[in-house]
Amino acid sequence: MPTKWKKIGEVGVDSGTLIIGDPSYLLDENWSCEDYDKELINGDWDLFKQIYHDNRSLKAVILSSGFGDGVYTVLAKIKDYGTKGQKDERIKEIKIKLIDD
């Protein structure tokens, strides 16, 4: 079966940034990013930043959301990995369009 893109929702942004990561990590306080607060407040950071757990394992990615605040459509590329007539759809890829050119 062919792979297809499907709108799966929208994400609202009110800080000019998005974060991609496992939501269970947001429930604990053992994460850090060097000068994280300072960099966000000063706008003094690159387009993206890797966030780590206090034991230095990967936690999430934070990124600039295009030109800032707004509501952005989230699309998923869905592929059926099923065999012999059994449906087994999985999200293969996601896309969030932040700037309309």
Kindly list the averaged pLDDT for each block of 10 residues, start to end, along the chain of length 101.
83 89 71 48 61 69 86 93 91 91 76
- For 8, residues 6+ apart whose C-beta sits below 8 A from its C-beta are 74, 75, 76, 91, 94
Distances in Å between the Cα of 22 and the Cα atoms of 72, 73, 84, 86, 101 are 19, 19, 33, 29, 30
pTM of the model: 0.72
Angstrom distance (rounded) from CA 80 to CA 89 = 4
Quote the pLDDT of residue 28: 63
pLDDT at position 42: 37
Measured distance CA(51)–CA(32) in Å, rounded: 6
| CA atoms within 13 A of residue 38's CA, in its CB half-sphere | 4
